[in-house]
Amino acid sequence: MRSFSEFDPVALTVWFFSVTGVAMFCGHPLLMAISLAGAVLFFAVRNGTKHLRSHIFFIALFAVLALANPLVSHNGATVMFVLNDRPITLEALLYGVNSAAMIVGVLYWFRSLTQIMTSEKVLCVAGTFSPKLALVLSMALRSVPMFARRAKQVSDAQKAMGLYSEDNIVDDLRGRMRVFSIISTWALENGIITADSMTARGYGTGRRSQLRRFRFTAADGVFTLVTLALLGVTAAAIATDSLAFTFYPRIDIAVSGTLGICGAIAYGALVLLPIFIETEVSLRWRYLQSKI
Instruction: Quickly list DSSP for 98-119.
Output: HHHHHHHHHHHHHHHHHHHS-H
- pLDDT tens digits, the chain, 292 residues: what are they? 577 888 888 888 899 999 999 988 887 888 999 999 999 999 888 887 777 888 898 999 999 988 888 888 777 777 777 777 777 788 888 888 888 999 999 999 988 888 888 777 777 777 766 767 767 777 777 777 888 888 888 888 877 877 665 667 777 787 788 888 888 888 888 888 887 887 887 776 766 666 667 778 888 889 999 999 999 999 998 888 787 777 777 777 765 678 888 988 999 999 999 888 888 887 888 877 887 7
| Residue 249 CA from chain centroid, whole number | 33
Q: Rounded CA gap, 68 and 80, in Å?
A: 16
Phi/psi for 163 (5° steps) reads -75, -15
pTM of the model: 0.73
pLDDT digits (tens, 9 = 90+) for 148-181: 888 888 888 877 877 665 667 777 787 788 888 8
Domain spans, the chain: 4-123+215-290, 143-200
Contacts 24+ apart (CB under 8 A), 228-235: 228/14, 228/18, 230/18, 230/266, 230/267, 230/269, 230/270, 230/273, 231/18, 231/22, 231/266, 231/270, 233/262, 233/263, 233/266, 234/22, 234/31, 234/263, 234/264, 234/266, 234/267, 234/270, 235/22
- 9 class by beta-carbon count within 10 Å (0-12 exposed, 13-18 middle, 19+ buried): buried
Q: Which residues pair with residue 255 across a beta bridge?
A: 243
Q: What is the rounded end-to-end Cα distance, in angstroms, of the chain?
A: 17
In angstroms, the CA 138 to CA 144 distance is 10
Q: What is the C-alpha to C-alpha distance for residues 111 and 125, in angstroms, rounded to an integer?
A: 18
Distance in angstroms (rounded) separating the CA atoms of residues 17 and 46 = 19
Instruction: Give the span between the Cα atoms of 234 and 255, in whole angstroms.
Output: 12
Q: How far apart are CA 129 and CA 133, in angstroms?
A: 8
Distance, CA of 122 to CA of 114 (rounded, Å): 10
Task: Single out the residue of 282, 239, 240, 242 nearest to residue 265, CA to CA.
Answer: 242
pLDDT in tens, 191-218: 888 878 878 877 767 666 666 677 788 8
Coil, strand or helix at 77:
coil
Beta bridge partners of 247: none
